[in-house]
């Protein structure tokens, strides 16, 4: 059975520390949607009661989905991060050839391909005010993973004919091409948000990122900035269930998956960009993580 009641496993309910962060992200998204003087204030007037109700939400992406809905209603803007995503995709595309050459020099090792895919995770304008990926590339590449379940991944990979990657930020999707190429000839399905969610990649963003040339793109059906299985389409759930291997990218997907009592192996590839996630993995803030998760439901 794939879904069970929340009996065991590690859950990522909304922590108190998430509230100031969600409020900050709400304000940033509100201003991107409509910077007119009174609009962000009117949006916060409706967001603050949502925050006060935080216990009603399953995980941070679930609450942020409700915040996005308020922004959409009050501004008519369905995709506040559209321009930011375009910039992030372009920035990632500029450094892609450099990273492909770098990987070739490293003998196309799987370890380095995973590292490059993880580095894409810093293209997160919702967390960082501004990221100049080019300038911090060397530092990020030299940072070892705090948790790196490479051996078990390689052993699972031997028998795997197909993989599912659950995508995260739009810019990150560009760099995921390096990992997907490295996983060939296995068939890779890449899942996207069903509608704009923070700066995460939608189907359209993934095409702009050039991902349709190397993976089968599908919409998960989930509109939150983090995959919540109970909100997903049957087609996605079927792929999720049957995939030989699943890689979940980023904090939002980890938060969503860990809140919904699933029982299957998922490799989580992310950078711990906030203290809540760092605590959950017992790593230092800003650590890179590649960890096999199995949420047992007891």
In the complex with a second copy, the residue whose CB is nearer, 77 or 160, is 77
274: left (phi over 0), alpha (psi -120 to 50) or beta: beta
Which residue lies nearer to a second copy by CB, 13 or 207? 13
The helix or strand, by DSSP H or E, that contains position 146, with its residue range, turns out to be strand 145-148
Tokens 């590449």, residue located:
141
- Closest distance to a second copy from the beta carbon of 127 (Å): 13
- The residue assigned the tokens 């409020």 is 23
Considering only residues 2, 8, 10, 20, which one is a binding residue for a second copy as defined by CB under 8 A?
20
Per CB under 8 A, the list member of 2, 8, 10, 17 interacting with a second copy is 17
Task: For residue 107, state whether it binds a second copy (rule: CB under 8 A).
Answer: no
Residue ranges in 152-191 that form contacts with a second copy under rule CB under 8 A: none
Question: Between vectors from CA 58 to CA 52 and to CA 64, what angle results, nearest 5°?
Answer: 60
Answer yes or no whether residue 36 interacts with a second copy by CB under 8 A. Answer: no
Binding of a second copy by 111 (CB under 8 A)? no
Q: What is the dihedral of CA 215, 218, 222, 225, to 10 degrees?
A: 30
Token code pair at residue 43:
């949006």
Among residues 200, 221, 192, 258, which one has the least CA distance to residue 14?
258
Angstrom distance (rounded) from CA 26 to CA 81 = 12
| String of contacts with a second copy for each residue 46-75, x by CB under 8 A | --xx-xx-----------------------
Q: Kindly indicate which of the ranges 42-50, 164-172, 202-210, 287-295 contains the residues binding a second copy, using the contact rule CB under 8 A.
A: 42-50
Binds a second copy (CB under 8 A): choice among 3, 4, 27, 156: 27
The Cβ of residue 213 has, within 10 Å, a number of other Cβ atoms equal to 10
> Among the candidate windows 39-47, 119-127, 235-243, 246-254, which touches a second copy by CB under 8 A?
39-47
What's the closest the beta carbon of residue 26 comes to a second copy, in angstroms? 9
Residue 158 · residue 152 · CB < 8 Å: no
Where does this chain bind a second copy (CB under 8 A)? 16-17, 19-21, 23-24, 27, 40-41, 44-45, 48-49, 51-52
């Amino acid at each position: 059975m794939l879904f069970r009641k929340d009996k065991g496993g590690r859950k990522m309910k909304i922590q108190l520390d998430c509230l100031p962060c969600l409020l900050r992200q709400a304000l940033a998204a509100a201003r991107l949607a409509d910077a007119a003087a009174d609009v962000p204030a009117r949006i916060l007037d409706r967001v603050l009661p949502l925050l006060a109700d935080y216990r009603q939400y399953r995980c941070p992406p679930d609450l942020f989905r409700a915040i996005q809905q308020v922004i959409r209603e009050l501004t008519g803007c369905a995709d506040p991060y559209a321009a930011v995503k375009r910039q992030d995709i372009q920035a990632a595309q500029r450094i892609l050839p450099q990273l492909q050459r770098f990987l070739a020099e490293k003998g196309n090792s799987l370890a380095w391909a995973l590292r490059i895919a993880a580095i894409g995770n810093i293209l997160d304008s919702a967390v960082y005010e501004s990221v100049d990926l080019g300038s911090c590339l060397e530092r990020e590449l030299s940072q070892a993973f705090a948790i790196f379940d490479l051996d078990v991944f390689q052993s699972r990979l031997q028998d795997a004919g197909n993989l599912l990657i659950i995508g995260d930020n739009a810019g990150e999707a560009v760099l995921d091409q390096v990992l997907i190429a490295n996983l060939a000839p296995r068939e890779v399905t890449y899942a996207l948000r069903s509608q704009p969610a923070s700066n995460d990649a939608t189907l359209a963003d993934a095409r702009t990122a050039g991902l349709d040339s190397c993976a089968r793109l599908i919409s998960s059906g989930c509109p939150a900035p983090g995959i919540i299985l109970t909100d997903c389409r049957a087609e996605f759930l079927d792929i999720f269930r049957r995939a030989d291997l699943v890689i979940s990218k980023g904090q939002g997907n980890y938060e969503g998956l860990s809140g919904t009592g699933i029982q299957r192996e998922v490799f989580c590839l992310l950078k711990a960009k906030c203290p809540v996630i760092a605590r959950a993995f017992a790593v230092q803030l800003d650590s890179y993580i590649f960890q096999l998760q199995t949420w047992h439901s007891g």
